[in-house]
Structures are given as C-alpha cells and as structure tokens.
Chain A
Amino acid sequence: MSRLLPLALAVLCGSSSIVRAEEPPTFEKDVRPILKAFCLDCHGGGDELQGKLDLRLRRFALKGGESGAGIVLGKPAESLLIKRMKSGEMPPSEKKVSPEQIAIIERWIASGAVTKRDEPEALPRGFDITPEERAFWFFQPLKDVSVPGTQSSDRSRTAVDALILAKQRESKNGDRRADNLAMGFAPDSDKLTLIRRAAFDLIGLPPTQADIDAYLADSSEHAYETILNKLLESPHYGERWARHWLDVAGYADSEGNGTEDSLRPYAYKYRDYVIRSLNADKPFDQFIIEQLAGDELVPQPWKDISNAPDKIEKLVATGFLRSVVDGTATGGADEPAAANQVVADSLKVLGTSLYGLTIGCAQCHDHRYDPIPQADYFRLRAVFEPAFETAHWRRPGQRLVSLFTDADRAKSAAIEAEAQKMQADLNMKSSMYVAAALQKELMKFPEAERAVLKAALDTPGDKRSDEQKKLLASHPNLNINPGVLYQYDAAAADELKKDGEKIAAKRAEKPVEDFVSVLAEIPGVITPTRIFHRGDYRQPKNEVKPGDLTIAAAEGARIEIADKDAQLSTSGRRLALAKHLMNGRHPLVGRVLMNRVWMQHFGRGIVETAGDFGMLGTKPTHPELLDWLALEFARQNWSLKSMHRLIMTSTVYRQSSRRLDDTDSSDPTRYAKFPLRRLDAEALRDSVLSISGKLDRTQFGPAVPVVEDFVGQVLPEKDSTRRSVYVQVRRSKPVSLLTTFDAPVMAVNCERRIASTSAPQSLMLMNSDFIVAQAGAFAARVRTEPLPEATPEQRPLIDRLAIQYPRAGGEWQFGYGGFDAATKHTTGFTPLGHWTGSSWQGGAGVPDPQVGFVIVHAGGGHTGNDLQHATIRRWTAPRDGIVTVAGKLHHPSENGDGVRSRVISNRSGLRGEWRAKKSDAATNVARIEVVAGETLDFATDCFETVTSDSFGWTVKLSMTDSTGKSVGVWDSEKDFHGPLNAALPRLVAQAWRMAYQRQATDEELTLACEFLSRQFAHLRATGASGEHELLALTNLCQQLLISNEFLYVD
C-alpha cells in the first residue's frame, strides 16, 4: 500500500518538484524554479522589466510592481501572483503554470513565504545563477572517486566493475525488493560470443574466421586482450567509431538548402579525417582542439600546403563546424537569416556533442530550466563569431581553400598557354580548309555567277544586302562552316578533329585543382557580438565578450577569453576555448564524452539522454563511475583505445546476455546482464555484405553517390558495396535500407540512435533486391569455398542426411559402359573422372588413353571408341512413379556411320533405340513405371565406326504419381552439373558457419536439409526456371541473414 504513495504523488506533482507536507516550501528550492520557467523572462531576467514587477527575490515580489504587491504573506488567495496565474492571464505565452505548481506557490505564500537564506542586498540587472542551480550534479567539479575495494568472489576485474558493484549494493540497501534483485554479474560469456560482441562493437563487422579460430585456440591468460588489440588495430575500427562521432557532429555530404540540396564535394575529407584520427588513436584532446580550431593552428596564408599533410589535416578538421545545413549555398533572398541559422545550428551541435546541454534554448531568452543566461549563449557565440562572420558571410563555395601550389598554378598556366596556341593554329587551319572547300564549291557554278556569289560570301554576315542574303539562302550548299566541313572534305575534317583532341589532351595534363572546406576567420576582421533581442538577429543589443558558460566554472571564476590573441594571426578565441574544454577538469566535457563511449558499448548511457545532461535530461545512474571515467580518460592521455580496453576487459562487459530465471535482470541500469542488441543500420548492411563476400573494403575518398530507383528507393549508385560510412549522406535522399533501420536523416545532428522494429523492416529483409542479391552471392560462396571438415561427432549424422537428402541434380550421373544384347541391360557403367568446367571426359586430354573419345556435356557429347564405351547419362528415380521421356537426338556430320542411342532401365531393360546420321530423331518413350532407386541410362554408342561421332541429345523426363499428378520434371540440359563431391548437409554446415560463425547443431542440420529438399521438390514439381539448387540455397542463406540470430548480437 505505502509503496504506491510516492508514485501517486509523483504523478500528481510532476516528478521535478515533490514537496513533502512537513517541509514548508522555500523560495530558492521550490518557488524560484517555477518562476524562472514561467515569469522571469519579463520580470527581472531580461533587459526590460514588464509592469515594473521583479520576481527574482522574495522581497521584490512582496514589493510588487505597477499593479500592486505580487504576494500577500499568508494569503495566497489575495496574492496577485496567484490570481493572475490561476486566471491563465499570466504568463501570456502558450505555456501555463500547472495547477500543481500553482499549489506549491500557494503553500509557500500560506506558510509565510520562507527563504532558505538572507536575500542579497543588491542584485544586478538580469539573470543570476542561484546556489540551488549551482548544486545540480552536472555542474559540480569532477569528483576524484576512490575505487571501492572488492573481493575475489565479486569477479571484479577493473575499477569499472568495482564501481558498478558498489552501486548495486547501494541500491540494494535502499530497495525493498532487494531479495529479488540480481546482485553481481552474470557469468562470463563464452569465447565465441565474446569475440563476436567485441568485433561488432569495435569494427561493426563480424570477426574473420581466422580471428575466431586463433582466439578459440589461444588458451593463454591474455587471449582476450590479444584479440581486443587486434580489433582495435583493424583499419575498420575507425570506420565504425567514426560513424558514432559523425552522428553527433551532424555530418552530411549535402548542404540541405531546400529541394536543391547541393552536394558538398569536399566534405568527405572531414569524414576521412575522423576515421584516420580514430585509427591512429589521436589523443582526444587534440582531436577536439583540431576540430574546433584547426585553422588557428596553421598560420596563414595557406599557400603551397598540398605537400604539408599535417596542415591540411588541421584545416580539414574544422569540417566539424561546417556540418550543419547551410541554406546560403544557393544564395536566395534571406541570406542573413540563413547565415544566422548556420551559427545557431552549429552551436546546437557544440552544445549536444561537448557540453551535454541544450545551449540553443538560451538563444532567445535565458534557458528556462538550466542556468544558462542568454548572455552566456552569446558569449559562446562570440567565440565562434570571427569564423562564421555573419556580417561578412561566406557561402560554402567561398569557404574552400585551394590545394594548388604555385608550381601547380604555373604549370597549369603554361599548359593553358600551349593549348591556346594550338587552338589558334587549329582555327587558322580550319578557316583555310573552309575557304578551300568554298572555292571548290564555287567552281561548280557557271563562271558568270561566281563573282556575285563570292562578293556575297566575302561580305560579313551582318553587312550583307538583302539581295545577297537571298542569294546565299537559295544556295545552302555554300553555307560551309567547320561543323559541316566533313561533307565537303572528309580528310580535312578528320585532321581538324584530331587536332582538337590533341588540344583537349593537352589541357587534361593540367593538375586537377583540389580543395578543402575550412571554417576560418577573415584576417583582420572581427565583428563584435551582440545579444539579439529575443534571438532576432535584426535586433542586436548589448555587446558581449567571448567566454565559456558561467555555470561551467566555480562561482566567480567564469572563463573569459581574450578578444584577440596577440601571438596568433587569428583571434585565437576558438583555440583558447578548445584548450580550456580539453584541460581535463572541465566538468561537462569529460562526462559527456565518456558517457557517449559507454552508451556505444552498452546501448545505453550512464546519462540516458546523451545530448542533455541538464534539468530536463535524465540523471546519471552511476555518477561516480561517470566522473571516474571522465578523469581516467584524461589520465590515459586521452587515448580512446585505452578506454575501450578498460571497459571491454571489465566483467560487466564480458557478462552473458542471457536472462537469469531467478533474478530480476530486466533493469538495464543494474548491469546484471549484458544487453542483447540489434545491429544498427550500417552494421547490418556491412555485415550482410561481409557474409555474402561482396563487401568492398576500399577505404576513404569521395562519397559513393546515391540514386533513386524507379520506385523511389534510395540506393548507393551501381549497387556499390563499399562500407556504409562511405555512402553519400544526402539529406534529401537518405538511403532507404539505412533509414529503415533507424539511421538518422541529418536535420541537425543525432545524439542517440533508436532501435525500432517494424513491418517495413521485415518487408525490406524479405523482399528487397539488395538482400535477395546478397543471399544469392552468399549461396554461391557456400558452394565454392573450401568446406570445413565435419567433426567426428557430426560425421555419422552428415552421412545419414547425405543419403536421405541428395543434392538437387544428384539424380544424374555421367559415365560410360557397354550393352548386353542378350539381357538388354547396361554393362560396366563407370562414372567419368575428369571435369573440365563444362564437360565430363576420361582425362584432361581427348582421346584419353583408357576411355578414348567419351565426352558428356550439357547438350550431348561424343561417343567412345567401341561398343564397351557408350557415352551414358544415368538418371536415378528418387521415388516411385511413372516417367515419360521426350527427347531429340541430333547427329550433324555426313562422315562415318552416325550414332545409336538407347534408353535402358536397370529393371525393365531396353525401352527405346534410335539412330541418327546427319539427321535428327525424336527419342520419346511414352510410359516407364519406375520405383525409387531405379536407373534409366541414356546411352549413345558409335555404332560401327568411331568417325565424326559428336552428337546432340537432350531429354526431358516428366514424372507423375499413380494419380497422374506431376511430381517432377528433369531436363538433362538444365540439370547438367559438375562434381557434387560435397553432400547437402555439409553445404548447410558451411552456410551456418559463415552466417552465424558457429557449428550447426544436429537438429539444425536436419531442419535445414529438410527445408532444402522440400524446396527442391517444389521447384522440381513446378518446373521453375533457373538452377534449382542455387535458388533453394539462396533462400536458405537469406533466412539465415534475416534471422534474429544474425540481426541481434548477444
């Protein structure tokens, strides 16, 4: 009963301000936050004081404004504040004070309007940060947490484990359900699960079979650390973790300027910079500093930098601040508004990525919930102002820095001069040829007319008299120009064309001008930053100086930044802020960064709202752990890879993901089991490609363009199989497969991915061309790659299944043998031993020393040299039934005596016999009753001489059951195949190992063989076109790829 009470209260009061009856509310703790959210904007917080009423202090409220006292002590009903709120008159905005909140203020007034402290004597105009706000956990300095001790029974491996365990104990003490709560960690995952978890986590791809084998075989103590290091050193690590950072940075390959959505052809360099930096484990402080102020680290002018990759790298890094939508890309009427939007969005990205605060909410007014005065927002803007310079706005194209060197430029100019000269020569030659052709043409006219015509032709077009114009118009054959020269003088035209090509080739020798997109200042220009009234850039008010957020430093210790760093050619503002942010003690940045790393590893942040740690965000589940991680990050010299190692070697990471029956492990914040997680969009696509063997592992470079197919699905161009991180992020054309699985469409940035489940996802997996094509490639791999040895335990089952479920087409064998005229049966059938890739024969060469000329191919073959070497295609009945044979024998040559073909059953003997010599014969047999296992031989011999005995013979077998229902069709041409040395169950085992990276169980082998044989039978019965075994195997492979075991990682 009593357990429900806090719940009921929470529902009634809203979770933020629960007030207990015995404690009278105080101004600072209970009332001011409400006033701040609803009233202070106009009543004390802003520049103007509406109605002369200031509500920032109790005594101001008592004093009141133009309409009288704001509150009447002890009498809420008579207090103007309450009356106005209750009538809905105040606040005038859409958002009203809730009845619960009004009730709190009423109770405060009723109980004498208590304050916790004496109010200050004087209060400067504007917003202040109260001790209550300062006391919020996020604004506290990072705490040097001492790591609690553990016992060996705790299975704690790292400080991370110790801190998680401490929290479990702490909450156990405070929870009555403790008996049911899981304590400690779930058992360690098995090695295979662990390496797969680590691989998907670190490289976003399944581990290679070689890595798995090595790890499973490594029994040393540090086997796990070894494989972690290997994964961390993989070039794919950077691709995986860059994607996480690019989400937060809001990376896109297009400007987002309306429907045009122009491309950003050089943005990819920033993406590559992030991948390379992470692969190199660039210290994260340097990584951030370069992104915020890389340009300030490279003295201008930026000439001849193409040979200075370290300089280019720093300039490219500023792409972080060029990621948001830039509506000025195409110009347009409202450039100032669009330009200011770029700045606002960039500050939003900065806020959510590094500060963990919705800084953007303080653009128009003081932040309603967090202690971020509007002035602080603009202080921060001032840091970035000289780089964005809305007063001297540069469109995206104007922010490109050329990588041309002076030498490149000189070379380019020299080539151009040469080309110009060639062009001049060409022009001269061209006029000459035209004149000559004209002369020749004139000669065709009677001599009397030539002079007049020539005079007309020699007169420039605009000076010709009407008669002249008329005259020439009546003789179109005289209208000769270089374009039609070929009709008069083909050789000359050809020569000119070749000369033109030479000029083009010459110009192509010019070095290609490459660019980087850089956020940089305009040397010597620094426009002062002013607070915009209500965030409206058209209403600039007081000037503010650059600095960090007030709340991010101790009281009175706000970080101010110099207007201009005398040592630098730039203002130095961003560099100063970046260095300050990454000094290792900044209360916000370290927590925000490590929280995000934790979130990627565990699917959930210590603070769940990874982009908002403020009052409206969620509280940390493990504040001590978060602080410890933030400090440890700096202690580890900002090595992200060290932090991965630390977290991933912890027991909490190695735990099994299986739910334990007897404990309540459903609460993810207890970390009593590892969370089962769905592959995110990119990992899903990349992993499918990796299993199909089609993944193109090329790294870096311009984005793979995206195209829309005829139904409007957006795909990588030419079905590129590059990793998803290299596929163009076009805001107006998000890749369908990726967005369906929750990849963000970059409006601003993405702080946290969700993992949804929907029917459209299922349809995409079941039916999309992409998945079906990859399943086909996977199936082909299953058949062509070397098969792993079956384990001794599984061999008996595999042998049994192999007999029970033959491969599709396994009904056919190809060989030779004789015919016993007495018994009318085949004698000495021997399968052929050599497969050329398209035919069966005795050996690599024909005739073969033993077998002679015998050849079988899809459409027929060649007979052997004698009657003991008839070429035989043998079919084995898979079941009882009635077979009808329809076929055509063809012998093409006049020479020799032709061939003889027979159909011979091993039960009922000869069923048909035909001969052909330079002729065709229909080889039909109406009705053969067969039993399972019975063979029909389609034998062709040389008759009497073995001369020119190449033949064509195809047969089609239609089988019905005793009721006349069709049960299968065999086509000797379509069914023709090479060696089937792998039994069906071994193919299944191979598919399992490739998709799931584990051995199939006995049950699964049986299940899959049954499935395949069912599909063979169906395809056979319906006479489906295409190769049946590949079709069925493709279907098997597809189901593996779209099954939960593939989509979710333990």
Chain B
Amino acid sequence: MTISRRDFLSTSAYGIGAFALAHLMQRDGLLAETSNKPPENLPLNLQERAPHYQPRANALISLFMHGGPSHVDLPDEKKELTKHHGSEYSGEVVYSFVNRANKRLLGSPWKFRQQGDCGTNVSELLPHIGSIVDDISVLRSMHTGHNGHEVSIRYFHGGIAGVTGRPTLGSWVSYALGTSADNLPAYMVLSDPAGHPVDGTHNWSSGFMPPLYQGTVLRAQEPRILNLDAPAQLRGVVQQQNLDFLRQLNARHLAARPGEADLETRIQSYELAAAMQTAAKEALDISQEPEHIQKLYGLDQDPTREYGTRCLIARRLVERGVRFVQLFLGGQPWDNHQNLRGALPDICRRTDKPAAALVTDLKQRGLLNTTIVHWGGEIGRLPVSEGTLDASCGRDHNGQGFSIWVAGGGFKGGMAFGETDEVGHRAAKDIMTPNDYQATVLHLLGLDHAKLSYRSNGRDFKLTNNAPARVVHELLR
C-alpha cells in the first residue's frame, strides 16, 4: 500500500508532494542525508574510520554453528515437550523432509538446570556455556521463516534469505569501519579441518563490493596462511627493496590508467600481504600463550584442541584490531537428522568449552566490553522426531523458531530474551529475524543499518535491504 501512497505523492503535485515524498524517503532511509544527491560510497580502502555514532563495540567474533543446533536440547528447555514425549503434536509442523515427516513429539533426552545468578536454563550438554550464562544473552525467538540451510545462512550473512552475490556482514563491517589492525585483514575466517562449510565461499563473499572486503580465509592447519614466509634470501631489507621497486612500477602503470579500481586494489593487496607476513605470524603464534590460558580453551584435550586453538586465535586477532572474525565448521555437524543422541553430544563436546573460554578470557582481559561474541546456527531443529521415533532418530530443520546467544560489546549478560511456543517449534514472543540481529549488531558497532549503504550499478544497497529491522534495545546495556 505504501507504493500507491508514494506514487500518489509524487504524481499529484510538485510542491507539497515532492516535499512529502522526500521526507518519507528520507525517513525510510531511501535518501542519504545530502538530499537529492545519491549517496557516495565510502573510500574503498581499509583505513579506520568513524562510525555513525559513538560505538559500544569495535569488534565481533562469530562462532557460526552450521547445520542448526537443536535449541530444544540446548538453551531452550521445553517442559511441555518433555511431558508429551511420544505423543502426536496437534499443531502444524513446517517440515523440510516431508518424506520423513512425523508428528511424534521428541522430548529432550537431556537434563536442564538453572545456572548462574540469572538462572538461565541450559542443558547438561553445554556445561561450560552454562557456567557463563551471567555474561551472555540467550535469544530464544530467532526466526528466519525458512527451514533450509543455505537460504537461512544467506539471510544471516547477506541480509536476504536465499540470495547470494551480496556482501556478508563482515564485508559491511569492514567497509564501514576499516580496521585498526594495520597489518591484518579486517575480516578473517577460520576454516575447519573438515573442509568448507555448507554454502562454501558464499559464507565470506564480498558480493558486489570489491574483494577487498571479502573474508580472508586462514587454513585449518599450519601453515595457516600459505606462502606467508618469504624464502630466506628474500627476507628483510631485500624484500623491502623489492616491494618499494614494485610499488614504483605499479604506481607508474596506474598513473597512465586512472580510475581502474582493480589495479588499485591489487596494489593495496601487496601492501597488506607484506605487512601480514610479520603481523600474522605473531598473531597466530599461540605458543606465546601461558599454559593456563591454553588449558582454559581445552588445548590439552583431544576433543577441544582444534576448536579451542581457533577460539584462542580469534581472541588474539581481535586483540590486534581485526574487526570481524568468523569461525566455521566443516560440513554441518549440527545437522542432526539422525542419531541425535550420539551426534549432538559429540559436537557439543568439541565446541562447548572453547566457546565459553573465549567469553571468559575476553572478560578477564577487559575486552568483552568492546567485543561482541555471537554463537549460533542458521536454524534450529523441530520438536518432533524425524522419521520413526526411536533411539536413533533425529530432528528435521526448523527456521520458524530457534536460539542463538550473544555476549559482550554492549549486550546485556544474564538474560534470556524471547520465547518459542510451548514445544519450541515457532518463535512466539519478541520474534527476532536475522535482520533484527544485524541491525542490533551494527548499532553496537556505532552503525545505523538504515544509513549504511553501498552503491553498485546505480542502486543503493543495504545489509538489511530495507526490510523491517529493528535494533533490539531490550538486549542492550
């Protein structure tokens, strides 16, 4: 209906109509503040720049839990579900795998316990996260409306469900804020030894923004960055001389070809690469960490060593000014269609201690105040059994209602926000979409999601794509 109102205003008059339209559009963020001039892009570099207003946070670490963690078995206890275990659910269920659809309710096989001063309920599968509930806020009413993995992943990363080719959250943040780490990429991705996550490189794509804003992927094993070290004879002064000479060559070449953005980006990528050599090596060297810190992250134990190492690296990176660090899991270990009882404890064991350690460690260093930590998948799981309800059954996808948690950077701790329905299928109260999450995160970083835009092909794009998105102030300190 807005369409015709706008239409009416624009066609009816030049005086009042035009003014009113401009006002409307401005309010809706369709116009930049500078009236009728299309908003210009920020300079395409990684120089640190001021946000729209005073930020609460200056960095974000996202522990992305590919596959859809089963919220009803983890941070969203559903007593009704447990009570009615095995009986037929009377409500409508949105399935993904219709061929295995079943309406039998599957109560959580795990025990829940109120923890911390706040008393948030967390299941026994997450003992360490349970121990830090006073520092985190559990958001129990996430909703993508889509059960599929990719479609919801893209919603979380790119702002529109199912659509690829858009910059990811990390791209937007590094575009808007640049980086204070002179010698590290603004946006780094820590990949999993098991390989790419579902949806592959889309997870850290810069879409229509230049590749400068694409996530830089660190390998899962040493060397985490290939070719980071120069061969012995090229190190030090020799390399400096080489790069100076290269810079002179490239500058002359560019001067004859003004306006070729690719050439400029290439020049910058050499600068970054050279500086990365020392900075990244230092940042990735966890042997500098004392033993008690390594233990905190579980580096002394097999199940947690790998993920713990990455969580520790993530902390070291934000400490050094990296804006956005995202950890992925290969494939989708949380996608427990079958054997929930076996598979879910496994992936919890791998990630629970390191994730909690990250929050604890950031806090003890005073970094939690300015660093947002995000933990969550793209969807959750259904309260009903997938296929026959038996000991080896699992749960199908659920994008209608699920949980994530956030901590630090201006988020309140000790909070549980929102609710799903009595069995945990649909978000019921204080529903939050990925766009709300994005708007809130940007807000804490000092950015107005309705203002932050990028112009490409004659159109202005925003992360939240002008969709209804709100900063969820209830979550903020």
Q: Which residues of A contact B (CB under 8 A)?
A: 1-2, 4-5, 7-13, 19-21, 88-89, 92, 94-96, 100, 103, 536, 657-659, 661, 666, 676, 678, 711-713, 736, 755-764, 766-769, 772, 1003-1004, 1007-1008, 1011, 1014-1015, 1018-1019, 1022, 1024, 1026, 1031, 1035-1036, 1038-1040, 1042-1045, 1047-1048, 1050
User: In the complex, are the beta carbons of B250 and A1044 less than 8 A apart?
Assistant: yes
> Which interface residue of A100, A712, A760 has the most chain B CB atoms within 10 A?
A760
Once bound together, how far apart are the Cα atoms of A1038 and B146, in whole Å? 51
Q: Which residues of A sit under 8 angstroms from B269, Cβ to Cβ?
A: 757-759, 761-762
Nearest-CB residue, chain B, relative to A1011: B245
Question: Can you sample 26 A-B contacts with CB below 8 Å?
Answer: A1-B18, A7-B458, A11-B459, A19-B3, A20-B7, A21-B4, A94-B145, A94-B146, A94-B151, A103-B1, A658-B257, A712-B226, A736-B226, A757-B265, A763-B277, A766-B227, A766-B273, A1024-B233, A1035-B234, A1036-B245, A1039-B242, A1039-B249, A1043-B246, A1043-B253, A1045-B250, A1048-B263
User: In the complex, are the beta carbons of A94 and B96 less than 8 A apart?
Assistant: yes
Once bound together, how far apart are the Cα atoms of A696 and B223, in whole Å? 31
Once bound together, how far apart are the Cα atoms of A760 and B92, in whole Å? 49
Nearest-CB residue, chain A, relative to B400: A88
User: In the complex, are the beta carbons of B241 and A1018 less than 8 A apart?
Assistant: yes
Query: A8 with B6: in contact, given A711-B226, A759-B216 (CB under 8 Å)?
Result: yes
Q: Which residues of B sit under 8 angstroms from A5, Cβ to Cβ?
A: 6, 10, 21
B234 contact from A95, A658, A659, A772, Cβ within 8 A? A772
- Sort chain B's interface into a size bin: 35 or more
User: In the complex, are the beta carbons of A1044 and B267 less than 8 A apart?
Assistant: yes
Q: Which residues of A sit under 8 angstroms from B96, Cβ to Cβ?
A: 94
The answer, yes or no, to whether B228 is at the interface (CB within 8 Å) is yes
Q: Which residues of B sit under 8 angstroms from A758, Cβ to Cβ?
A: 211, 214, 216, 269
Query: A766 with B230: in contact, given A94-B151, A95-B162, A755-B262 (CB under 8 Å)?
Result: yes
* Closest Cβ–Cβ distance, residue B1 to chain A (whole Å): 7
Nearest-CB residue, chain B, relative to A88: B145
User: In the complex, are the beta carbons of B145 and A759 less than 8 A apart?
Assistant: no
* Closest Cβ–Cβ distance, residue B98 to chain A (whole Å): 9
Main secondary structure of the interface of A (DSSP, over half): helix
User: In the complex, are the beta carbons of A712 and B219 less than 8 A apart?
Assistant: yes
User: In the complex, are the beta carbons of A94 and B399 less than 8 A apart?
Assistant: yes
Q: Which residues of B sit under 8 angstroms from A1015, Cβ to Cβ?
A: 238, 241
Query: A103 with B3: in contact, given A1043-B249, A1044-B263 (CB under 8 Å)?
Result: yes
User: In the complex, are the beta carbons of B263 and A763 less than 8 A apart?
Assistant: no
Nearest-CB residue, chain B, relative to A661: B258
Query: A1026 with B233: in contact, given A711-B226, A1015-B238, A1044-B253 (CB under 8 Å)?
Result: yes
Nearest-CB residue, chain B, relative to A1026: B233
Query: A1045 with B31: in contact, given A8-B25, A94-B96, A1011-B241 (CB under 8 Å)?
Result: no
Query: A767 with B245: in contact, given A676-B263, A759-B185 (CB under 8 Å)?
Result: no
User: In the complex, are the beta carbons of B237 and A1018 less than 8 A apart?
Assistant: yes
The answer, yes or no, to whether B129 is at the interface (CB within 8 Å) is no
Query: A1045 with B146: in contact, given A9-B6, A94-B399, A1035-B238 (CB under 8 Å)?
Result: no
Once bound together, how far apart are the Cα atoms of A1019 and B4, in whole Å? 75
User: In the complex, are the beta carbons of B241 and A94 less than 8 A apart?
Assistant: no
* Closest Cβ–Cβ distance, residue B90 to chain A (whole Å): 16
User: In the complex, are the beta carbons of A766 and B245 less than 8 A apart?
Assistant: no
- Chain B, range 307-335, C-beta contacts under 8 Å to A: none
* Closest Cβ–Cβ distance, residue B218 to chain A (whole Å): 10
Query: A763 with B257: in contact, given A92-B94, A1018-B237 (CB under 8 Å)?
Result: no
The answer, yes or no, to whether B428 is at the interface (CB within 8 Å) is no
- Chain B, range 176-229, C-beta contacts under 8 Å to A: 185, 210-212, 214, 216-217, 219, 221, 223, 225-229
User: What 4 A-B pairs come out closest when comparing CB atoms?
Assistant: A762-B273, A94-B146, A763-B227, A767-B227
* Closest Cβ–Cβ distance, residue A421 to chain B (whole Å): 55
The answer, yes or no, to whether B231 is at the interface (CB within 8 Å) is yes
- Chain B, range 13-51, C-beta contacts under 8 Å to A: 18, 21-22, 25, 30-31, 36, 38
User: In the complex, are the beta carbons of B273 and A759 less than 8 A apart?
Assistant: yes
Q: Which residues of B sit under 8 angstroms from A96, Cβ to Cβ?
A: 145-146
Nearest-CB residue, chain A, relative to B459: A7
User: In the complex, are the beta carbons of A712 and B246 less than 8 A apart?
Assistant: no
Q: Which residues of B contact A (CB under 8 A)?
A: 1-4, 6-8, 10-11, 18, 21-22, 25, 30-31, 36, 38, 92, 94, 96, 99, 145-148, 151, 161-162, 185, 210-212, 214, 216-217, 219, 221, 223, 225-231, 233-234, 237-239, 241-243, 245-246, 248-250, 252-254, 256-260, 262-263, 265-267, 269-270, 272-274, 276-277, 399, 458-460, 466
Q: Which residues of A sit under 8 angstroms from B254, Cβ to Cβ?
A: 1044
Once bound together, how far apart are the Cα atoms of A33 and B230, in whole Å? 57
> Which interface residue of B161, B241, B276 has the most chain A CB atoms within 10 A?
B241
Nearest-CB residue, chain B, relative to A657: B257
Nearest-CB residue, chain B, relative to A1025: B233
Q: Which residues of A sit under 8 angstroms from B253, Cβ to Cβ?
A: 1043-1045
Nearest-CB residue, chain A, relative to B152: A94
Once bound together, how far apart are the Cα atoms of A155 and B8, in whole Å? 47
Q: Which residues of B sit under 8 angstroms from A1022, Cβ to Cβ?
A: 237
Q: Which residues of B sit under 8 angstroms from A1007, Cβ to Cβ?
A: 245, 248
* Closest Cβ–Cβ distance, residue B94 to chain A (whole Å): 6
Nearest-CB residue, chain A, relative to B260: A676
Once bound together, how far apart are the Cα atoms of A1022 and B238, in whole Å? 11
* Closest Cβ–Cβ distance, residue B164 to chain A (whole Å): 12
Once bound together, how far apart are the Cα atoms of A1007 and B250, in whole Å? 13
Q: Which residues of A sit under 8 angstroms from B225, Cβ to Cβ?
A: 760, 763
Q: Which residues of A sit under 8 angstroms from B250, Cβ to Cβ?
A: 1043-1045
User: In the complex, are the beta carbons of A659 and B22 less than 8 A apart?
Assistant: no
* Closest Cβ–Cβ distance, residue A256 to chain B (whole Å): 14
User: In the complex, are the beta carbons of A759 and B276 less than 8 A apart?
Assistant: yes
* Closest Cβ–Cβ distance, residue A110 to chain B (whole Å): 11
User: In the complex, are the beta carbons of A763 and B226 less than 8 A apart?
Assistant: yes
Q: Which residues of B sit under 8 angstroms from A759, Cβ to Cβ?
A: 185, 216, 269, 272-273, 276
* Closest Cβ–Cβ distance, residue A388 to chain B (whole Å): 24
Contacts A1-B18, A10-B459, A757-B212 supplied; 17 other A-B pairs, CB < 8 Å: A1-B21, A1-B36, A5-B6, A5-B21, A9-B6, A20-B7, A96-B145, A657-B257, A711-B223, A712-B221, A755-B262, A762-B274, A763-B276, A772-B234, A1039-B246, A1044-B253, A1048-B263
User: In the complex, are the beta carbons of B146 and A768 less than 8 A apart?
Assistant: no
Once bound together, how far apart are the Cα atoms of A100 and B465, in whole Å? 14
Q: Which residues of B sit under 8 angstroms from A1026, Cβ to Cβ?
A: 233
Query: A757 with B216: in contact, given A94-B147, A95-B146, A1038-B242 (CB under 8 Å)?
Result: no
Once bound together, how far apart are the Cα atoms of A796 and B243, in whole Å? 29
Nearest-CB residue, chain A, relative to B426: A88
Q: Which residues of B sit under 8 angstroms from A1036, Cβ to Cβ?
A: 245
User: In the complex, are the beta carbons of A760 and B227 less than 8 A apart?
Assistant: yes
Nearest-CB residue, chain A, relative to B397: A94
Nearest-CB residue, chain A, relative to B230: A767
User: In the complex, are the beta carbons of B226 and A760 less than 8 A apart?
Assistant: yes
Q: Which residues of B sit under 8 angstroms from A768, Cβ to Cβ?
A: 227
Query: A659 with B258: in contact, given A762-B272, A763-B226 (CB under 8 Å)?
Result: yes
Q: Which residues of A sit under 8 angstroms from B263, Cβ to Cβ?
A: 676, 1044, 1048
Nearest-CB residue, chain A, relative to B22: A1
Q: Which residues of B sit under 8 angstroms from A2, Cβ to Cβ?
A: 10
Once bound together, how far apart are the Cα atoms of A278 and B116, in whole Å? 72
Nearest-CB residue, chain B, relative to A1021: B237
Once bound together, how far apart are the Cα atoms of A1026 and B231, in whole Å? 14
Q: Which residues of A sit under 8 angstroms from B256, Cβ to Cβ?
A: 658
Once bound together, how far apart are the Cα atoms of A1008 and B242, in whole Å? 11
B249 contact from A658, A757, A1035, A1040, Cβ within 8 A? A1040
Q: Which residues of A sit under 8 angstroms from B7, Cβ to Cβ?
A: 9, 20-21
Once bound together, how far apart are the Cα atoms of A564 and B151, in whole Å? 43
Q: Which residues of B sit under 8 angstroms from A1018, Cβ to Cβ?
A: 237-238, 241
Once bound together, how far apart are the Cα atoms of A103 and B6, in whole Å? 14
User: In the complex, are the beta carbons of A4 and B30 less than 8 A apart?
Assistant: yes
* Closest Cβ–Cβ distance, residue A785 to chain B (whole Å): 22
